[in-house]
Amino acid sequence: MVLWLTGHWSRQLALENLQLQNQHQLKLFVASLQGQLQKYEILPELLATNSLLLNFLQYPNDVNTITALNRYLESINNVAGASDTYLMNAQGWTIAASNWLSDRPFIGRNFGFRPYFKQAMQGKLGRYFALGSTSNRRGYYFAYPVRDKKKIQGAVVMKIEFNEFEESWSGLKENFVVTDPDGVIFVSTNDEWRYKSLSPLDDEVLKRIYASRRYGDVEIGTLSITRKDRLNETAQVVNMGVSRHSDHLMLVQEMAEAGWRVHTFASLDVVNGQMLKSVLFAAILYIAIILLVLYIVQRSRRIKERARFEKRAKQVLERRVQERTTDLTQANLRLMKEIEEHRRTDETLRQTQNELIQAAKMAALGQMSSGINHELNQPLAAIRSYADNARALLTRDRPEEACWNLEQIAELTERMAKISRQLKVFSRKTSGQIVVVSLRAVIDNALKIVGPQLKDTGTTLRRNVLKEELYVMSDMVQLEQVLVNLLTNAVHAVEQQDERWIEIAVARQQGKAIIKILDNGPGIEKANLERIFDPFFTTKSEDRGLGLGLSISYRIVEMMDGSLTAANCPEGGAIFTLQLNIANMGQQTTEQADLARQAELSRQ
């Protein structure tokens, strides 16, 4: 009886300690899961405010808009780290998606049967967990309506996956599972438990699950669980096998906002071991007491010594329990601290990326505006002078001379219009297509942009270009950007020279177009040659840039299947060599020809 009471008491005590420890782990898991969901919950609502989505829902046949929209969704999906992001019209058809370039894109597929779409069309934030009908991969879906005033035109959907989340928790000795409202496990740190229910499901429930295709064609099984002792409303002892070693402590916590239940399963081996130790300890103590009673007269001194030994053993046991509890508490604090540090690091990274992009855009606009402003001031002053002359001549009844002044004003305004058009061409968005491009036209356009800087600094431009027309495979807008970056860097390099000149040379070699840009500046330090194309590396002052120009140019040329290198000329100064593939005009496709003509028309 004494041993049974000792075992029962020690088991209850060990269960309470295990429950306390795992309750804390469960709260951490739920908080982490909620944080994962809340991280993406606001993104669909934010995307729904973008006018690009609404415009395409209203005018779905615009080819240029769909390409831009697909790229926009792809960019948002990559930045957010989501699985998929796509736009659906009011009938449930997917009309734009971030995976538009994948083998199995969502575009053209109807997901109107999904509950998240129906919730969004009712004007609410849709939530749903299911296997993707196309990708057959698990994911949680957020959907938000896209409105035109009060009318809902469609829905934007973002899907996230939990694979990395499960892996991050799989190293613990406890098993965590998340069940849907029907009790089916869909998130688990134990792969064998996934898509199984915690209790047998009725046939009607199974039919409804299979009919909704929530888990695709996966067969829903039942986890072998025998419920034993109920400790309280959220804690219960269950057996997950046939032996006593299969006993586990199951804790449950509700996630009402998602309709989920989170469970943790901790093995009772520690509890059973503790109980066995306590029973053995009690048995030894009981036997010792009997022996002490039998030998009390003759062995009084040994009885006292044994009592002191037992007291020391109990103190050691209590100290070890206290040390173990302290270690677990410190481990939990370190885990919470790491989670908070990861969260702050993620927020700092996103903020830094946004500030860097904004700073780069403002720097480029500032440099463009200074050159164009100088070019516009001269014709503006002349226009005012001619206007004053025309007004004076008209008052003196000299209309022919006044007409000549007005013609001069018209020519000057045309000149200003050409400058404005050139700035507009340079600032337009790239199409992203590699097509046949006239190298001479690209060089001319780039020189028009850099022309004001050459004039202001008194820099001489030397052109050594082939007489024959040379066509290369590239993106015209991006190639102009590369040449403008290289020429601008050359202008900055020769500013301190008494005689300033820059040379641009074009040659043809083994099916490659070789464009070289030389200057008579101080050249590049040998230690900097290996780092010159690294992001944020610059030897200029802060007002001259962020150190991104050469890095961006290197990536652009690399995407065009070309190369960009830097070196020092033996005579002095730096030389940048750009190599591009020469287009085979005899094998040019009709699509490439159309794209080339569109590029020429857009320049005009």
- 450 and 523: one domain? yes
pLDDT, tens digit (0-9, with 9 covering 90-100), for 111-169? 888 888 998 999 888 888 887 777 778 888 899 999 988 789 899 999 888 777 777 77
Within a domain: residue 142? yes
Type of residue numbered 343: R
Under the banding of pLDDT at 50, 70 and 90, the label for residue 600 is very low
Q: Has residue 279 been placed in a domain? A: no
Torsion angle, CA of 148/150/156/160, rounded to 10 degrees? 150
Count of structural domains within the chain? 4
Q: Are 129 and 209 in contact (CB under 8 A)?
A: no
Q: Does 331 fall in a domain?
A: no
- What are the Cα distances from residue 390, in Å, to 387, 399, 404, 410, 576? 5, 8, 8, 13, 51
Q: Is residue 347 very low, low, confident or very high in pLDDT (cuts 50, 70, 90)?
A: confident
Average predicted confidence (pLDDT) for the chain: 78
User: What is the band of 86 on the pLDDT scale with cuts at 50, 70, 90?
Assistant: very high
- Listing DSSP states for 43-68 in one string gives HHHHHHT-HHHHHHHHSTT-HHHHHH
Asked whether residue 296 is assigned to any structural domain, the reply reads no
CA 57, CA 147: separation in Å to the nearest integer? 10
Which pLDDT value is given to residue 358? 39
**Top-confidence residue, 340 or 15:** 340
Asked whether residue 573 falls in the same domain as residue 522, the answer is: yes
Instruction: Check whether residue 124 and residue 22 sit in a common domain.
Output: no
State percent of the chain over pLDDT 70: 82
Same domain, 150 and 182: no
pLDDT of 163: 74
CATH number at residue 57: 3.30.450.20
- The answer to whether position 44 is within a domain reads no
Model confidence pLDDT, tens digit, residues 348-383 = 855 654 454 334 434 544 555 555 565 565 567 667
- Stretch (H or E) spanning 85: strand 84-89
| Strand 84-89 relative to strand 501-509, pairing | unpaired
Which tokens hold the place of 10? 């020690």
Asked whether the predicted pLDDT for residue 276 surpasses 80, the reply is no
- Residue finishing a domain among 368, 394, 420: 420
Mean pLDDT of 104-116: 87
pLDDT tier for residue 420 given thresholds of 50, 70 and 90 = low
Q: 267: part of which helix (H) or strand (E)?
A: strand 260-267
Give backbone dihedrals phi and psi of 577, rounded to 5 degrees, phi first: -115, 125
Query: Is 300 a domain residue?
Result: no
Highest mean pLDDT among 26-30, 236-240, 309-313, 369-373: 309-313
Radius of gyration of the chain (CA): 37
Instruction: Please say which residue of 119, 138, 161 terminates a domain.
Output: 161
Q: Which helix (H) or strand (E) holds 3?
A: helix 2-48
Give the pLDDT confidence score for residue 400 in this predicted structure.
81
Give 546's contacts (C-beta < 8 A, 6+ positions apart): 356, 359, 360, 363, 536, 538
CB atoms within 10 A of CB 270: 15
Q: Express each pLDDT in 532-588 by its tens digit.
A: 777 766 666 555 555 667 777 888 888 888 888 888 888 888 899 999 998 886 545
Do 433 and 392 belong to one domain?
no
Residue 100 has pLDDT above 60, yes or no: yes
Check which CATH number belongs to the domain holding 595 and give it.
3.30.565.10
The DSSP 8-state label assigned to residue 528 in this structure reads G
The pLDDT of residue 378:
55
Q: Determine the pLDDT at residue 366.
A: 58
CA 65 – CA 70 distance, rounded (Å): 9
* 445 and 464 inside one domain: yes
Least confident of 86-90, 393-397, 563-567: 393-397
Taking each helix axis from N to C terminus, what angle separates 439-457 and 476-493, rounded to the nearest 10 degrees?
A: 30
- Predicted TM-score (pTM) of the model is 0.41
Question: pLDDT digit string (tens) for 447-479?
Answer: 888 887 888 888 889 888 887 888 998 888 788
Q: Is residue 304 part of a domain?
A: no
* Local structure of residue 252 (DSSP, 8 states): E
* Low-confidence winner among 25-34, 93-102, 132-141, 536-545 (lowest mean pLDDT): 536-545
Do 578 and 445 share a domain, yes or no? yes
Q: How far apart are CA 133 and CA 140, in angstroms?
A: 13
State whether 23 and 113 are in the same domain: no
Phi, psi of 110 (to 5 degrees): -105, 120
Whether residues 190 and 260 fall in one domain: yes
Q: Residue 7: its pLDDT value, please?
A: 67
One domain, residues 85 and 210:
no
> Containing domain of residue 389, as a range?
357-420
Going from the C-alpha of 173 to that of each of 169, 265, 513, the distances in angstroms are 9, 9, 62
pLDDT of residue 154: 92
> Of 230, 251, 271, which one is at a domain's C-terminal end?
271
457 and 592 housed in the same domain: yes
Nearest to 134 by CA among 97, 154, 116, 109: 109
What local confidence, expressed as pLDDT, does residue 373 receive? 62
395 and 507 belong to one structural domain: no
Q: What is the mean pLDDT of residues 511-529?
A: 86
